[in-house]
Amino acid sequence: MNRRDAIQQVALLLGGMISAPAMAGVLGEKTNFGESVPVSAEQEAFLSELADVIIPTTSTPGAKAAGVEKFIVRVMRDCFPKEDQEKFYAGLTKLNTDSRSSFGKSFVELDAAQKIQAVKSLTTNDKAFFLRMKELTVTGYFTSEVGATKALEYLPIPGRFEGCVPLKPGQKAWAL
C-alpha cells in the first residue's frame, strides 16, 4: 500500500478529509529572527560538495542529489547560537584556505581523489568542524526523501508488526 492509498483509506474509514501536508513554502522559511551568520550561494554550493564527499553517490544518490546543504544551512541558522554558526562557517572557510595551499585550487575545483584527501586532512586539522559537518550531513541525508527512500527502506504505514523475523539478504535498514 503506498502513502496516497493509505491516506485515502484513512479518509474513507473515518469519513473525514486529511489535510495535505502544509508544506508549500515551509522549507527554507526563516524562523530565527535573531542574529545569524549570512550564508552566500557559494558557501551553500561548497557545503553541498563537502557533504557529497561524506555521503557520495554510490549505487544510490548521495548528499548533493538529496539537497542536504539546505538542511545544514537551515539547522545551523535556526538551531545553533551565533557563536557556533561563526565557528562552523570559519571551519568551512579554513578548509578552502587549506585546499588552496595544498592543491592550488579551491575545494569545489578539486577532483574526486583530491577532495577525499582534503577531507581526510580535515579529520585531523579541524576535528570539531568535521564532526559537526558529518553529523548534519548524515541526519540531513537519511531524513531526506532520497536518503530515506533510496539508501534506506522507507515504509510510512507498515500496517502490521512482526517482532522477530529473518533478516533478508541485502536488506536495507528501516528509515524510521
Partner 1 sequence: MYLNIDAQKEMTYDAIVVGSGVSGGWAAKELTEKGLRVLMLEKGHKLDHVTGYENAMKDPWQTKYNGRLTVEQKETHPKLSRDYPYNEMSEKYWMNDSDSLYKEVKRFDWYRPNIVGGKSIMWGRQSYRLSDIDFEANLKDGIAVDWPIRYKDIAPWYSYVEKIAGISGEKLGLPQLPDSEFLPPMEMYCVEKEVRKRIEKDFPGRTMTIGRVANLTKPTQFMVDNGRAACQYRNKCALGCPFGAYFSSQSCTLPLAAKTGKLTLRPDSVVTNLIYDENKKKATGVRVVDAVTLEERIFNANLIFVCGSALGTTAILLNSTSNRFPTGFGNDSGELGHNLMDHHFRTGASGTWEGDADKYYFGRRANGIYVPRYRNIGNDKRDYLRGFGYQGGGSRASWQRNVAELSFGADFKEELTKPGPWSMGLGGFGETLPYHENRMYLDPKEKDKWGMPLVVFDAELKENEKKMRVDMANDAAEMLEKAGVKNVKSYDRGSWLGMAIHEMGTARMGRDPKTSVLNGNNQVHACKNVFVTDGACMVSASCVNPSLTYMALTARAVDFAVKERKKGNI
Residue list 131-150, contact with partner 1 (CB under 8 A): 131, 134, 138-140, 142-145, 148
Instruction: Please choose, out of 38-46, 71-79, 89-97, 100-108, the segment that lies near partner 1 by the rule CB under 8 A.
Output: 71-79
Q: Among 79, 90, 102, 128, which residue sits at the site for partner 1 (rule: CB under 8 A)? A: 79
Pick between residue 104 and residue 168 the one whose CB is nearest to partner 1.
168
How big is the site for partner 1, counted in residues (CB under 8 A)? Answer: 73
Cα–Cα–Cα angle for 38, 44, 47, rounded to 5 degrees: 120
CB 165 within 8 A of CB 82: no
74 binds partner 1 (CB under 8 A): yes
Handedness of CA 65, 30, 140, 5 (dihedral sign): negative
Question: Across-strand partners of 174?
Answer: 153
Give the span between the Cα atoms of 142 and 107, in whole angstroms. 24
Q: How far is the CB of 32 from partner 1 (least distance, A)?
A: 6
> Would you say 100 or 127 has its CB closer to partner 1?
127
Q: How many CB atoms lie within 10 A of CB 89?
A: 19
